[in-house]
């Protein structure tokens, strides 16, 4: 039963491979929850295996939102996530249920909870000029250019992240000041939800790396290579959508382009996923007003989270 309380949402955050999805499904069996995806890859249609998306069976058992809402050619942003999540949250709350936000995209969590900085809108003509420059000179040159315009943003953004490099350059050129200066000016519209926060982590880094390697191997066994072949059929390498350059997918692409052997693909994907997990964990360590929980023992983890939910007075467990 939902109780009247200032807390009206739950955030279940953490790096990839920390067991968030399994815990979320179990929580939804015990409390009147609906899950909101906070993963920047799972929003895309047709990216199923490599994104570790909940299965159709799991999605039927518990209502999931903000999954399969984008075509692979679309660009999904934190601003769009905030708009979508606000609508979905309002709908869930109107039905006397609680939204359970689950994922590892820290920027989406932060933006929705704290609000977004007001950045200049994208300019199609400037974006096309930047894309032409990238095709001619390469993404590395654009990142070097960003260093000269906004060193702090360049340090924060992965040099291989096409979307974010282009957006940072766009903001710098449109506003004639660094994007990092905008981000320091504060946010607007942050009073959207009042969440109870949980951050999951694995203390044993080696066990996490072994788990991530095993998970990628399982993805291959389930047909990840065929998934990528189907998504890239008829496309030139320079026209591959940005979402297919995410961890796991990009290594399979390099394998298909014969840039990596099969074993090298597995090795590189395992390393990249481990690096992603480390970056995510570093981000979530900034959360000071939540519970940081070691996730190796799933049974104990679930009980701890369930107890804190009840203690917070959001609602009681279903009988």
For the domain that residue 180 is a member of, what is the CATH number? 1.10.20.140
The number of domains in the chain is: 2
Element (H, E) at 11: strand 9-14
As a whole number of angstroms, the longest Cα–Cα distance in the chain is 63
Residue 4 lies in a domain: no
102 and 155 share a domain? no
Residue 167 lies in a domain: yes
Distance CA 213, CA 215 (A): 5
Task: Provide mean pLDDT across the span 245-254.
Answer: 95
The string of pLDDT tens digits covering residues 85-135 is: 999 999 999 998 999 999 999 999 988 988 776 677 778 889 899 999 999
93 and 27 share a domain? yes
Identify the residue whose tokens are 């939102």: 65
171 and 246 share a domain? no
Instruction: Give the percent of the chain with pLDDT over 70.
Output: 93
The string of pLDDT tens digits covering residues 10-69 is: 999 999 999 999 999 999 999 999 999 999 999 999 999 999 999 999 999 999 999 999
- Residue 242 pLDDT grade (very low, low, confident, very high; cuts 50, 70, 90): confident
Q: Would you say residue 312 has pLDDT above 90? A: no
Provide the residue range defining the domain that includes 211: 9-116+187-312
This prediction has a pTM of 0.81
162 and 242 share a domain? no
Q: How far is CA 118 from CA 85, 146, 164, in A?
A: 18, 20, 16
Residue 168 lies in a domain: yes
Q: How far is CA 191 from CA 14, 111, 163, 188, 260, in A?
A: 22, 11, 28, 9, 47
């Amino acid at each position: 039963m939902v109780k009247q309380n200032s807390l009206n949402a739950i955030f279940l955050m953490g790096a990839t491979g920390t067991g968030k999805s399994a815990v979320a499904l179990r929580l939804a069996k015990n409390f009147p929850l609906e899950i909101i995806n906070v993963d920047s890859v799972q929003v895309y249609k047709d990216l199923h295996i490599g994104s570790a998306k909940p299965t159709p069976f799991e999605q039927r058992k518990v209502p999931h939102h903000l999954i399969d809402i984008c075509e692979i050619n679309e660009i999904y942003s934190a601003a769009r996530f905030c708009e979508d999540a606000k609508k979905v949250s309002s709908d869930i709350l109107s039905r006397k249920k609680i939204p359970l936000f689950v994922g590892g995209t820290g920027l989406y969590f932060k933006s929705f909870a704290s609000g977004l900085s007001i950045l200049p809108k994208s300019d199609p003509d400037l974006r096309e000029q930047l894309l032409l420059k990238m095709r001619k000179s390469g993404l590395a040159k654009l990142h070097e250019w960003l260093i000269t315009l906004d060193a702090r943003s360049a340090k924060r953004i992965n040099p291989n992240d096409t979307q974010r490099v282009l957006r940072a350059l766009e903001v710098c050129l449109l506003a004639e000041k660094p994007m990092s200066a905008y981000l320091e000016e504060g946010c607007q519209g942050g009073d959207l939800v009042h969440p109870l926060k949980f951050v999951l982590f694995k203390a044993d880094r080696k066990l996490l790396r072994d788990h991530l390697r095993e998970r990628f191997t399982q993805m291959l066994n389930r047909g990840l290579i065929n998934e990528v072949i189907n998504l890239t059929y008829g496309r030139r390498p320079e026209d591959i959508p940005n979402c297919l350059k995410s961890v796991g997918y990009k290594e399979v692409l390099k394998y298909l382009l014969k840039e990596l052997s099969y074993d090298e693909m597995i090795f590189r994907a395992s390393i990249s996923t481990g690096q992603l997990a480390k970056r995510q964990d570093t981000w979530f360590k900034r959360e000071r007003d939540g519970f940081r929980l070691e996730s190796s023992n799933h049974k104990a983890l679930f009980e701890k989270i369930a107890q804190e939910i009840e203690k917070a007075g959001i609602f009681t467990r279903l009988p």
